[in-house]
């Protein structure tokens, strides 16, 4: 019965999105069923940029709240729907706009660089936005004598400081609860269980910090290792000649990896690396959002305009 219900819902979603002229975007961490009904699957900023180029005037974003906000900032003339308003983000929640303003007051001459995994209000207070794939380039583009406030992810911040050699970076002590839970012990155990495995790791993982020096050399325990964004991981595993991969990020990405590379083997560094917020998006909620056109995410123009400036500065660099 469940299979029939799922097939029916998928067919209804496909029908409704055409009928209502809606584009469905799904983040790489969404459940397989939701990825199946999406027009595009990818990382948060890539999807938001792509949404600006499609003809549809309504975007249904299957992801978390800050992602829908980013899509609204980049495409202010379009309507953005979010299937679940409860789909938040532990990393985004790790800094408030008041905390950021106070931090900036303590370092009045510093340049603020914030990860895209932040609220629109936080983005509006930043000098630059960044993603996991371009954070190093964004920091390198800032004059070396300038202090940098990097937020909110401490593991990504540590990685960037290591790769750029910056000694004047202040790093906010925030973390993604999913990536913070992937430990060096998890990784070592999995690598030992898979012969000739390549290791792909997201820089938000807590395991990057103790491994940093080995990883920067491109190896860990004699295994080839790459620190990459989610899209970077997907591109890398497709091009790599390796057949076995240990993947250190949220487990939702494995579905797309296996689908695009059926002849290769992918195992998670930790089976527990599941984002409860991403998993709040279900087929039922996608269907409901299409039927009722509810949960419209909009960003006040003043905040959106300032936030867009930080995003545009980043895009000019990367």
Q: What does the pLDDT look like over 227-277, one tens digit per residue?
A: 888 999 999 999 999 999 999 999 999 999 999 999 999 999 999 999 999
The predicted pLDDT at position 13 comes to: 97
Asked if residue 255 is part of any domain, the answer here is yes
Q: Kindly state whether residues 23 and 76 are assigned to the same domain.
A: yes
Residue 120 structure tokens: 């629109």
89 is in an annotated binding site: yes
pLDDT above 70 for 116: yes
Asked if residue 273 is part of any domain, the answer here is no
Average pLDDT over residues 208-237: 77
132 is in an annotated binding site: yes
176 is in an annotated binding site: yes
204 is in an annotated binding site: yes
Tens of pLDDT along 282-317?
999 999 999 999 899 999 999 999 999 999 998 888
Q: How confident is the model at residue 203 (pLDDT cuts 50, 70, 90)?
A: confident
Residues 299, 73 contacting (CB under 8 angstroms): yes
pLDDT above 70 for 216: no
Asked if residue 258 is part of any domain, the answer here is yes
The Cα–Cα gap between 30 and 36 comes to 10
Instruction: For the chain, give the percent of residues with pLDDT over 70.
Output: 94
Q: How confident is the model at residue 1 (pLDDT cuts 50, 70, 90)?
A: very low
203 is in an annotated binding site: yes
Residue 85 structure tokens: 């308003």
Q: Kindly state whether residues 59 and 97 are assigned to the same domain.
A: no
Domain extent at residue 74? 2-87+278-298
Query: CA torsion 163→167→173→177, rounded to 10°?
Result: 10
The predicted pLDDT at position 86 comes to: 95
Q: Kindly state whether residues 170 and 310 are assigned to the same domain.
A: yes
The predicted pLDDT at position 318 comes to: 62
230 is in an annotated binding site: yes
Q: Kindly state whether residues 195 and 248 are assigned to the same domain.
A: yes
Q: Kindly state whether residues 124 and 152 are assigned to the same domain.
A: yes
Q: How confident is the model at residue 210 (pLDDT cuts 50, 70, 90)?
A: low
117 is in an annotated binding site: yes
The predicted pLDDT at position 246 comes to: 94
Q: Kindly state whether residues 69 and 12 are assigned to the same domain.
A: yes
Asked if residue 14 is part of any domain, the answer here is yes
* DSSP collapsed to 3 states, the chain: CHHHHHHHHHHHHHHHHHHCCEEEEEECCCCHHHHHHCCEEECHHHHHHHHCCCCCCEEEEECCHHHHHHHHHHCCCCEEECCCCCCCCCCHHHCCHHHHHHHHHHCCCCEEEEECCCCHHHHCCCCEEECCCCHHHHHHCCCCCCCEEEECEHHHHHHHHHHHCCCCEEECCECCHHHHCCCHHHHHHHHHHCCCCEEEECCCCCCHHHHHHHHHCCEECCEEEEECCHHHHHHHHHHCCCCEEEEECCCCHHHHHHHHCCCCEEEECCCCCCCCCHHHCCHHHHHHHHHHCCCECCCCHHHHHHHHHHHHHHHHHC
Q: Kindly state whether residues 168 and 313 are assigned to the same domain.
A: yes
The predicted pLDDT at position 241 comes to: 94
Question: Can you give the CATH number for the domain in which 104 is found?
Answer: 3.40.50.10800
Q: What is the total count of domains within the chain? A: 3
Q: Kindly state whether residues 133 and 197 are assigned to the same domain.
A: no
Q: Kindly state whether residues 223 and 264 are assigned to the same domain.
A: yes
Asked if residue 197 is part of any domain, the answer here is yes
Q: Kindly state whether residues 79 and 226 are assigned to the same domain.
A: no
């Amino acid at each position: 019965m469940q299979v029939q219900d799922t097939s029916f819902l998928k067919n209804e979603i496909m029908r409704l999105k055409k009928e209502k002229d809606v584009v469905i975007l799904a983040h790489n961490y969404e459940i397989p069923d939701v990825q199946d009904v999406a027009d595009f699957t990818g990382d948060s900023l890539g999807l938001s940029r792509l949404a600006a180029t499609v003809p549809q005037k309504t975007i249904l974003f299957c992801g978390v709240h800050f992602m829908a906000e980013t899509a609204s900032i980049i495409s202010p003339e379009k309507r953005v729907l979010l299937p679940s308003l409860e789909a938040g983000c532990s990393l985004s929640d790790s800094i408030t706009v008041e905390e950021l303003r106070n931090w900036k007051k303590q370092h009045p001459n510093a340049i603020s660089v914030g990860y895209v995994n932040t609220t629109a209000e936080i983005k509006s207070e930043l000098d630059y936005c960044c993603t996991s794939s371009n954070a190093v380039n964004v920091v390198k583009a800032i004059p070396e004598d300038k202090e940098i406030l990097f937020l909110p992810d401490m593991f990504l911040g540590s990685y960037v400081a290591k790769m750029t050699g910056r000694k004047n970076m202040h790093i906010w002590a925030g973390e993604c609860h999913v990536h913070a839970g992937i430990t060096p012990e998890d990784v070592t155990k999995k690598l030992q269980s898979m012969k000739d495995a390549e290791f792909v790791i997201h820089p938000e993982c807590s395991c990057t910090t103790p491994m940093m020096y080995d990883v920067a050399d491109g190896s860990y325990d004699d295994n080839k290792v790459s620190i990459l964004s989610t899209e970077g991981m997907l591109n890398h595993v497709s091009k790599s000649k390796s057949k076995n991969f240990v993947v250190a990020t949220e487990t939702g990405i494995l579905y797309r990896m296996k689908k695009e590379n059926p002849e290769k083997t992918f195992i998670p560094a930790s089976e527990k690396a599941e984002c409860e917020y991403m998993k709040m998006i279900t087929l039922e909620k996608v269907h409901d959002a299409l039927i009722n056109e509810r949960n419209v995410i909009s960003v006040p123009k003043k905040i959106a305009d300032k936030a867009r400036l930080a995003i545009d500065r980043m895009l000019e660099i990367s």
